Structures are given as C-alpha cells and as structure tokens.
Amino acid sequence: MKILLVEDENRIAQALAEVLIDQNYVVDIANDGQVGWEFATAFPYELIVLDLMLPKLDGITLCRQIRQAGYCTPILLLTAKDTSNDKVVGLDAGADDYVVKPFDLQELMARIRALLRRGSNILPPVFEWEKLRLDPNTCEVTYNGKLVILTPKEYRILELFLRHSHQVLNRHQILKHIWSFEDPPGEETIKVHIRSLRQKLKYAGASCDFIETVYGLGYRLKQTF
C-alpha cells in the first residue's frame, strides 16, 4: 500500500517514513503543499498524511483542493494546534482524522491502520486466491499451508495483484503502486521481481503461470476455474 506523507519538518518526515517502510508501506514524501498537490494528483495513494503548517500551500487549502478535485483518498491531518476550532476546520475541509503533535507513534500507526481499513472496507481482511493466502495484518503468505518467504517488493506486488484480482496490470501501473517517486525502476526490474515471485510460488506448489502474462497488456492472476 502506498502512502503520501506531506511534511516540511524533515526529521519528522524521515522518522515516520522509516517506520512505515518497515511495515511494508511504500512512502512518498512531499516537503511543501504544492509538491503534495502534484503528487496527490499524479499517483495512486491509499492514504495521505498531511501536516497543516506547510510552505507554499497550507494543509487546509491542500485538503480542500484534493476533495474538490474529486479524490476520496483518506486524509490524516498532523498539526501542533490543539483547539476544537482547528479540528473542526480540518474535518470540514475533508480530512478523515486528526492527530496533534507531539504524537504517540503507536497511536498514530493505529489510526493509519484504521483509515486504511476504512478506505478498503469492501475488501476481505485476508486475501485468498485458490490455495494462496496473504494476511496483511501479519504480512504472511502461504500456499496450500506452506509458508512462502518473499522480499518486501515481491510481497507488495503479490498484494497488488490480490487487491486487483480480476484486472490486468501493466508495468506502468505496477510501478506507480509499488515504487516511490524517488526510487523508480526500469521495466526489466519489474520483470525480474515477477519472475522471482513466480519461482517462489511454484516451489510452494503453485503452477508456473500462477501470475500469467497477457501479451501486449500486462499481468494478472490466472483463473483455473
């Protein structure tokens, strides 16, 4: 899952990004509101964590712009202001939740998980496809009960396919969902990750084309029923 962090305090941004990345999220960081707007309208995000006091474009204005443009991505506001009026203004601007600095990291992560669940409440808590099972809560993947050890990138790619299980995903779509803006790979890198993922699933008992290539279009999970 991909998160946009709009925060101009570099120390806070880097520390929070490290924690999110450790929990298998992909994170883009924007250091001002204008860059945040450009990212929010250019890439698919499951959540936006947004500071209020930002250069160029403040958080409230950015939040309103995102909503007025029709984006429904959950937004979590971060701010040093702790008055009822500030909270009301932020929520009325379209935010889904509000956390005051300095924040407790465990509480913040719990609120992030809650918003991500709310944003994907039409999806099952555990993803299954034939004998494959992926549990986002534990980041555990099994095939026919056998544990499949994946790298973080392989795990995110597999989760992406499961979240879009009846769609064909091309390399550009995979890139936008799985890699951060500052870490774009070449197309060959995506092919290498998918090849490795196929091999690990095959070793666990899956067919060699469990993730099948739709020539000229992209990749999808293969249906055998």
Do 133 and 197 share a structural domain? Answer: yes
Sheet holding 127-129, edge to edge: 127-129, 132-135, 140-143, 146-147
Do 135 and 88 share a structural domain? Answer: no
Do 60 and 104 share a structural domain? Answer: yes
Q: Which of 63, 64, 163 is nearest to 121 (CA)?
A: 163
Do 142 and 86 share a structural domain? Answer: no
Instruction: Give the span between the Cα atoms of 17 and 53, in whole angstroms.
Output: 19
Do 138 and 33 share a structural domain? Answer: no
Do 103 and 18 share a structural domain? Answer: yes
Do 88 and 178 share a structural domain? Answer: no
Over residues 160-172, the pLDDT tens digits come to: 899 888 889 988 8
Do 69 and 109 share a structural domain? Answer: yes
Domain that holds residue 59: 2-119
pTM, full prediction: 0.64
Q: Are 22 and 46 in contact (CB under 8 A)?
A: no
Residue at a domain's end among 67, 102, 119: 119
Number of domain units in the chain: 2
Over residues 87-146, the pLDDT tens digits come to: 788 888 888 988 888 888 888 888 898 888 775 544 457 888 989 999 877 788 999 999
